[in-house]
Structure 1
Amino acid sequence: MRTAIWLYLFMFVAFFDLHAQYPILSPFALSLGAAPSFIGLIMGVYSITHLPGNLIAGYGVDKYGSKFFIVFSLIVAGIILLFQSNVKDPWHLLYIRSISGFVLAFLSPACLSLLARIARDRVHQSKLMTGNGLVHTLASVVSPAAGALLVAKIGFSTAFSVLGWILIVTGILAIFGVKENRSLEHTLDKSALLDHHGHAILGGELESTSAFSIPWLFFLIPVALSCSQGILFFELPLMQAARGSILTSGVFFTLVSLGALLTISLWFLNKISPFIRTVGGSLSLAIVFFGLAINWPIPLSVSLFMIGMAKGIIFPSLAALLASITSSNRYGRVFSLLSISYSIGAFFGPMLAGQLRDHISSYFIAFFILMLALSLLPLRTFKVPVTI
């Protein structure tokens, strides 16, 4: 349990730094003279450079363990933020963000893999994944407003420096805080193993489940989810209500996080099949984006809160679902695939919004992508072969 607490601390700091930049990155790029379409590229390239990092992390974590990648990711990402504080040109910001995206790609697969390995059984594993979602949400609740307030008080350059040093110090703490003994990894309780519908699988069926084939179409859900979030993160700071006020933009992001915090705090949801939670949450999210696209009468603040509620259901259930159908010696690879899916969606989201927002509602694009992923999802069975 001590290892889990340390992991939660490291992820909290990392997510805090990441989300603190959401409301300030677009204004910072604007202050450097970047056009809206170029800002979309800056935000998107951060995610696309996750791909090689995720691929390396997937096999590296399974072979060498999580600790090295956690420490490396935190410290180097902090150093890169120190360089970002001195950026004077939009192209330089693009280069810095691309490097930062590659470095931070190692953190999530390493942390999720270690969390999944230290679980006692599948129920405990689901709770640990929900705890990860709770930490992520708590960080995202306070960080956007904190980042906006930080810039308002000390400016862009100093704010990035402060965030960089926080990451560096946290990385140093990780050297002493993360205890990983791979030789003592235990096997999850076979009787607690669940299939993708949440039904119990008997011990004799464990071997076939360990070699379980995850359909490629399933990963369209995290792609669509992160794509829609990338669109939202691109649009919020540029909305009429937020223009000229970084603090207002930070409050908008905090509303999303508060909604996620509400649903993540409902621990009884862990008793529901993660497959059902994933589908239900994605459908709800699509409906809210459609409402925003047609300017429904529900206030923006309520809509953002509802988006957060859907996120609070989907993110933990996706991780719990993948962990429940994957053998422990492949956690690194399967969570790297999940991170790759998030990265692809987060790249295309801001890019599509930046290029098409003058022709079609960005929120309708988010709705369409989510519904497309849901329509292609194999709801009854996962029989499409894939080697992980």
Structure 2
Amino acid sequence: MKTAVWLYLFLFVAFFDLHAQYPILTPFAISLGAAPSFIGLMMGLYSITHLPGNLIAGYGVDRYGSRLFIVFSLLTAGAVLIVQSHVTNPWQLLVLRSVSGFVLAFLSPACMALLARITTDRVRQGKLMAGNGFIHTLASVVSPAAGAYLVAQIGFTAAFYALGWILIATAVCALFFIRDIAPATADASASSAAPAESASDPAAKPSDSGGKLRREAGIPWPVFLLPVATSCAQGILSFELPLMGQTPDAMMTTGLLFSVVSLGALLTLSMLFLNRLSPYYRTLWGTLLLAVCYYTIAADFPVPLMAVLFIIGMGKGVIFPALSSLLIELSGGKRYGRTFSALSIAFSVGAFIGPMLAGHLREQISSYFIAFAVLMLAAAILPLCVGRSISARTHFS
């Protein structure tokens, strides 16, 4: 478990560093003379350039392990930030953000695959995935304010320079302190557990009370519509919330609203007992909860926005670790790199589609209703894909 502890530490530093850029990138681009449409293009390209990186990471992590990809991603992203501190026009920033999107695409699949290989027990894997979500969410709560404060104190150039060196230092530490778990070793331990159970009890199933991974034929591809839908809804929320601010303190108001979402996610991510519940039902009911919340906003029900956003955060805190655990169960303990690469691709596609739909259709239909529709569609498809192919375990074990 030392690997998990070190990985969480480095992940927190990395996510803190990356999220600290969110409130300062747009003002920095404007200071270089970028128009709002250009900034939208830059954000879209950042998500699109994730796709080739996710594809490469999927096959590379399964073959070579996670450690080198984690180090490469952090090291290169840090170098890009240092170069970014010296840009003088928006086109240079566009190119560097595209490169950053590509190299950071390796980080999430590599980290999640390494966490999944630490154990073959489903409950412990669920806790590890929840820990990953907790670290990510905690960083997203505190880092935006820290990034804005840093720029206010030392300016854009010095802030990007400092953040770049922090990532490089994190990469060097990861090289020495993260112990990789070879894919072959993980698969061997998982496969050796199954024959042992079969020998002791021929009628036993691989998904019995021991909590070991099932052997499945493969992951139904429609399952990945769910991460596309959740990421699309999140992208719509990220697009719409800043437009709600009508006061001079709009930026502060927007930051507070996003913090409320993150606090809701922290609440459910800290409820580790949820990881003993079926990941299938957690994913399904969490998606339905999100859909109801977006419909509440779209229909303009007399419910405080803060309360709805907090519940949206709680839903995210339930879905994301549950979805990772569900994919692990469906994969049968094989090809973690490709599994989480496909998950990252789905998230990237949804993050690109959501703001695009909101920007083009918000005059004809509520963007939040679009989020409700895609979430309900994904929730309807999920039982058709996997409802009969996984364990029906819903109790505490």
Assess same fold via TM > 0.5: yes
Distance in 2, Cα, partners of 1:56 & 1:380: 27
Q: Report SS of the residue matched to 1:328.
A: coil
Distance in 2, Cα, partners of 1:72 & 1:219: 27
Distance in 2, Cα, partners of 1:164 & 1:243: 32
Distance 1:26 1:230, change over 3 A: farther
**Native 8 Å contact 2:62 2:338 kept in 1:** yes
**In the alignment, which residue of structure 1 is the partner of 2:112?**
112
Distance 1:78 1:308, change over 3 A: same
Give the CA deviation at 1:297.
Answer: 2.4
**Native 8 Å contact 2:229 2:378 kept in 1:** yes
Q: Which of these residues, 308, 311, 318, is aligned with residue 313 of structure 1?
A: 318
Distance 1:181 1:129, change over 3 A: closer
Comparing 38-47 with 306-315, greater Cα deviation is found at 38-47
What TM-score, normalized to structure 1?
A: 0.88
**In the alignment, which residue of structure 2 is the partner of 1:294?**
299
Give the CA deviation at 1:285.
Answer: 1.1
Distance in 2, Cα, partners of 1:117 & 1:350: 34
Distance in 2, Cα, partners of 1:150 & 1:332: 36
Encode CA deviations 1:44-83: one digit per residue, 9 max, x unaligned.
2111111111111011011011111000000101111222
**In the alignment, which residue of structure 1 is the partner of 2:165?**
165
- Confirm whether residue 374 of structure 1 aligns to residue 379 of structure 2: yes
**In the alignment, which residue of structure 1 is the partner of 2:218?**
213
Q: Which of these residues, 331, 343, 347, is aligned with residue 342 of structure 1?
A: 347
**Native 8 Å contact 1:119 1:128 kept in 2:** no
Encode CA deviations 1:309-352: one digit per residue, 9 max, x unaligned.
11100110011111122243411111111011011111122222
**In the alignment, which residue of structure 2 is the partner of 1:256?**
261
RMSD over aligned Cα atoms = 2.6
Distance 1:339 1:345, change over 3 A: same
- Name the aligned partner's letter for residue 69 of structure 2: F
Larger radius of gyration: 2
**In the alignment, which residue of structure 1 is the partner of 2:207?**
201
**In the alignment, which residue of structure 1 is the partner of 2:17?**
17
**In the alignment, which residue of structure 2 is the partner of 1:76?**
76
**Native 8 Å contact 2:206 2:215 kept in 1:** no
- Name the aligned partner's letter for residue 259 of structure 2: T
Distance in 2, Cα, partners of 1:95 & 1:242: 34
Distance in 2, Cα, partners of 1:176 & 1:254: 34
**In the alignment, which residue of structure 1 is the partner of 2:132?**
132
- Confirm whether residue 353 of structure 1 aligns to residue 358 of structure 2: yes
Distance 1:296 1:36, change over 3 A: farther
What TM-score, normalized to structure 2?
A: 0.86
Give the CA deviation at 1:41.
Answer: 2.4
Give the CA deviation at 1:32.
Answer: 3.7
**Native 8 Å contact 1:20 1:145 kept in 2:** yes
Percent identical: 61
- Confirm whether residue 4 of structure 1 aligns to residue 9 of structure 2: no
Distance in 2, Cα, partners of 1:345 & 1:242: 30
- Name the aligned partner's letter for residue 222 of structure 1: P
- Name the aligned partner's letter for residue 352 of structure 2: F
**In the alignment, which residue of structure 2 is the partner of 1:63?**
63
Distance in 2, Cα, partners of 1:242 & 1:233: 18
- Name the aligned partner's letter for residue 23 of structure 2: P
Q: Report SS of the residue matched to 1:187.
A: helix
**In the alignment, which residue of structure 2 is the partner of 1:187?**
189
Distance 1:178 1:69, change over 3 A: same
- Name the aligned partner's letter for residue 150 of structure 1: L
Give the CA deviation at 1:11.
Answer: 1.6
**Native 8 Å contact 1:223 1:342 kept in 2:** yes
Give the CA deviation at 1:149.
Answer: 2.4
Distance in 2, Cα, partners of 1:363 & 1:86: 39
Distance 1:5 1:42, change over 3 A: same
Comparing 26-35 with 45-54, greater Cα deviation is found at 26-35
Comparing 367-376 with 256-265, greater Cα deviation is found at 367-376
- Name the aligned partner's letter for residue 221 of structure 1: L
Q: Report SS of the residue matched to 1:119.
A: coil
Q: Which of these residues, 323, 326, 334, is aligned with residue 328 of structure 2?
A: 323
Distance 1:271 1:350, change over 3 A: same
**In the alignment, which residue of structure 2 is the partner of 1:93?**
93
- Name the aligned partner's letter for residue 107 of structure 1: L
**Native 8 Å contact 2:78 2:167 kept in 1:** yes
Q: How many residues align?
A: 375
**Native 8 Å contact 1:275 1:317 kept in 2:** yes
**Native 8 Å contact 1:66 1:111 kept in 2:** yes
**In the alignment, which residue of structure 2 is the partner of 1:303?**
308
Encode CA deviations 1:204-241: one digit per residue, 9 max, x unaligned.
xx99x434221111100001111111222233334325
- Confirm whether residue 333 of structure 1 aligns to residue 335 of structure 2: no
Give the CA deviation at 1:277.
Answer: 0.7
**Native 8 Å contact 1:230 1:350 kept in 2:** yes
**Native 8 Å contact 2:114 2:181 kept in 1:** no
**In the alignment, which residue of structure 2 is the partner of 1:122?**
122
Structure 2: give runs of 5+ residues left out of the alignment. 198-204, 390-397
Give the CA deviation at 1:97.
Answer: 1.5
Q: How does 1:38-49 map to 2 (within 5 A)?
A: 38-49=38-49
- Name the aligned partner's letter for residue 65 of structure 1: G
**In the alignment, which residue of structure 2 is the partner of 1:103?**
103
**Native 8 Å contact 2:245 2:254 kept in 1:** no
- Confirm whether residue 285 of structure 1 aligns to residue 287 of structure 2: no
